């Protein structure tokens, strides 16, 4: 998965109906939700963490933030920290930094998804760029991503 066109092609090959929306450049998930006509609870924010030295893709709603202590408990990890952009950039060739789609398996990554995202009929996410959002049904996302649903999000006063 390298470009938005690759994501579109892959979704079509999986027989998934999706909507693509172009927008002016936005760099936080909450800003993207606002210009994409979805709520901050339907917009997926992809966060890369390192748990005992291995990369983990954590996906939470844009309107919330990742609880690192909860993630550590769920993973039974001694040390969990957010990965730096320099560390994770090579994992996503062709994707703009911070615009990774929430499909860990496409990148060989273990992935956990906050359960609250499953409470909405649709999920929206970046399509490897800061200028395009893809929206598809939660049912299709669940079928494709096979997410491990956990409680890793907590309220955020600023959902950046």
* Predicted pLDDT of residue 91: 93
SS3 114: strand
Domain range list for the chain: 4-155
- Among residues 39, 59, 54, 37, the alpha carbon closest in space to that of 108 is found at 54
- Residues paired with 147 in a beta bridge: none
* Predicted pLDDT of residue 159: 43
List the chain pLDDT tens, one digit each, 160 residues.
566 568 889 999 999 999 998 877 776 777 777 676 777 889 999 999 999 999 999 999 999 999 999 999 999 999 999 999 999 999 998 898 889 999 999 899 999 999 999 999 999 999 888 888 999 999 999 999 999 999 999 988 654 4
Residue 90's Cβ-count burial label (10 Å; 0-12, 13-18, 19+) is exposed
Which tokens belong to 88? 């994770």
Tell me the C-alpha distance between 102 and 61, whole Å: 11
* Predicted pLDDT of residue 55: 97
User: Where are any strands of DSSP class E within 24-138?
Assistant: 44-51, 54-61, 64-66, 80-82, 110-114, 122-126, 132-137
- CA 160, chain centre distance (Å): 13
Widest CA span of the chain, in angstroms?
A: 41
Tell me 108's DSSP state: T
* Predicted pLDDT of residue 2: 60
Give the chain's end-to-end CA distance (angstroms, integer).
Answer: 25
DSSP 60-89: EETTEEE-HHHHHHHHT-S-EEEPPHHHHG
4-155 CATH fold: YbaK protein (3.90.960)
Size (the chain), residues? 160
Q: Is the whole model's pTM more than 0.95, yes or no?
A: no
């Amino acid at each position: 998965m390298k470009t938005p066109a690759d994501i579109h092609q892959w979704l079509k090959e999986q027989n998934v109906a999706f909507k693509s929306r172009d927008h002016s450049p936005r760099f936080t998930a909450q800003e993207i939700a606002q210009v994409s006509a979805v709520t901050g609870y339907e917009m997926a924010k992809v966060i890369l963490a390192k748990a005992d030295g291995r990369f983990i893709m954590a996906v939470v709603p844009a309107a919330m933030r990742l609880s690192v202590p909860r993630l550590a408990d769920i993973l039974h990890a001694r040390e969990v920290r957010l990965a730096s952009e320099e560390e994770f950039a090579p994992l996503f060739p062709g994707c703009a930094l911070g615009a990774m789609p929430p499909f860990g398996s496409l990148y060989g990554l273990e992935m956990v998804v906050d359960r609250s995202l499953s409470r909405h009929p649709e999920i929206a996410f970046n399509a490897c760029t800061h200028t395009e959002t893809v929206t598809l049904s939660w049912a299709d996302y669940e079928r494709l991503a096979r997410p491990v649903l956990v409680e890793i999000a907590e309220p955020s006063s600023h959902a950046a």
